[in-house]
Amino acid sequence: MPDERLLLGAHLPIAGGLHKALERATEINCAVVQIFTRNPRGWRAAPLDAQEVELFKEAARKTGLALVAHASYLPNLASPDEKVHELSIMAVKDELERCEALGIPYLVLHIGSHLGAGFDKGFERLVSGCKKVLDSFDGRVILLLENMSGQANSMGSKLEDIARILSAIGEERVGLCLDTCHLFQAGYELRSEKALNALLRQIDELCDFDRVKVLHLNDSRAAIGSGLDRHERIGKGYIGLRGFRNILQQRALRRLPMILETPVREWQEYKEDIMTLLSLL
């Protein structure tokens, strides 16, 4: 069983029904599960039906799992394309409403890309889009913006930019999901205890650490500062076991729901990464 101090789990498939992800989570000893609530590669999704919602809620009650949803891949609230921007607003609102219906408290969304229009234009679009989404949604689900790796045209790889975005949105229902792989690839050192302590202080000073609600645990196939979004299995990448030992020693991080998105061939293999992390305690 996972250590009781840790909400440790993985992003699991929903094939066969949303509730099946929770059943899979218990098979590999997860304490938290992240899912897509819809097809992640399409703009439109069939509405949730009452039976699907009840099956999911019953599985949540039975398993006691902490729950997180990840938004589909297409929405980009920072897009300069008007059609994509409007579709993104509708899609994110729909996903928030699905989470509300299912009882999932957090929806993780990639901060997005300005697609060459420049940071200022992307910033304006992103902030406007987030405000429109939340103004039209009266639920309690918190939208978590996920830090980026530093890819070309990305909006949120540097903490200063993320802090500026959060401040401009000015909404309590917006928080942060930190991804270890993305932090590392954006140039933030995790392998040194001193550097990690300094990073956590910087996050608190710029963004308020209380706004960090979820942690994605992913090793990196690319070197620090590479700007490449390339996940790796725990301990097999550039962050390595030393980096994840540092992470698990941090009380502020250890209290968060921690979710694996490592490149496994079959979801059952997540159990190996979970056991690797637990061995570091």
Please report the DSSP string for 164-207 in residue order: HHHHHH--TTEEEEEEHHHHHHTT---SSHHHHHHHHHHHHHHH
**Is pLDDT at 4 greater than 80 in this prediction?**
no
The residue annotated as part of the active site, out of 27, 44, 73, 193, is 73
Average pLDDT, integer, range 117-125? 97
- Residues whose CB falls within 8 Å of the CB of residue 195, separated by 6 or more in sequence, listed in order: 188, 189
| pLDDT 10s digits, 10-53 | 999 999 999 999 999 999 999 999 999 998 988 989 999 999 99
Active site residue 85: no
Of all residues in the chain, what percent carry a pLDDT higher than 90?
95
Tell me the Cα Rg of the chain: 18
Instruction: Examine the residue annotation and report whether 41 is marked as an active-site residue of this protein.
Output: yes
pLDDT tens readout for residues 153-198: 999 999 999 999 999 999 999 999 999 999 999 999 999 999 999 9
Catalytic residue among 19, 24, 98, 182: 182
The catalytic position among 41, 49, 138, 251 is 41
d(CA 110, CA 151): 12
Active-site pick, 94, 95, 229, 232: 229
* Annotated catalytic residue 19: no
What Å distances lie between residue 271 and 13, 256, 268, CA to CA? 14, 19, 6
Per the annotation, the verdict on 161 as an active-site residue is: no
Round to the nearest angstrom and report the end-to-end CA distance of the chain. 13
**Section 95-114 average pLDDT:** 98
- Annotation marks residue 229 as catalytic: yes
> Does the annotation mark 81 as catalytic?
no
Question: Any idea which of 39-48, 94-103, 129-138, 255-264 has the lowest mean pLDDT?
Answer: 39-48
Spot the catalytic one: 11, 24, 70, 114. 70
Q: Which residue among 98, 114, 211, 216 is the active-site one?
A: 216
pLDDT of residue 41: 86
Catalytic status, residue 146: yes
Active site residue 73: yes
- What residue type is assigned to position 63 of the chain? T
pLDDT at 5: 63
Q: Are strands 231-232 and 219-220 parallel, antiparallel or unpaired?
A: antiparallel
**In degrees rounded to 5, what are phi and psi of residue 274?**
-60, -45
Query: Is the whole model's pTM more than 0.95, yes or no?
Result: yes
Query: Which has the closest alpha carbon to 187: 161, 165, 155, 158?
Result: 158
Decide if 36 contacts 69 (C-beta within 8 A): yes
> Is 179 marked active-site?
yes
List the one residue out of 180, 187, 83, 168 whose CA is nearest residue 127.
Answer: 168
Q: Which residue of the set 231, 233, 238, 270 is catalytic?
A: 231
Give strand pairing partners of 121: none
Q: Which of 146, 219, 232, 273 is catalytic?
A: 146
What's at 1, amino acid-wise? Answer: M
Distance CA 227, CA 242 (A): 21
pLDDT at 2 over 50: no
Of the residues 110, 191, 211, 233, which is catalytic? Answer: 110
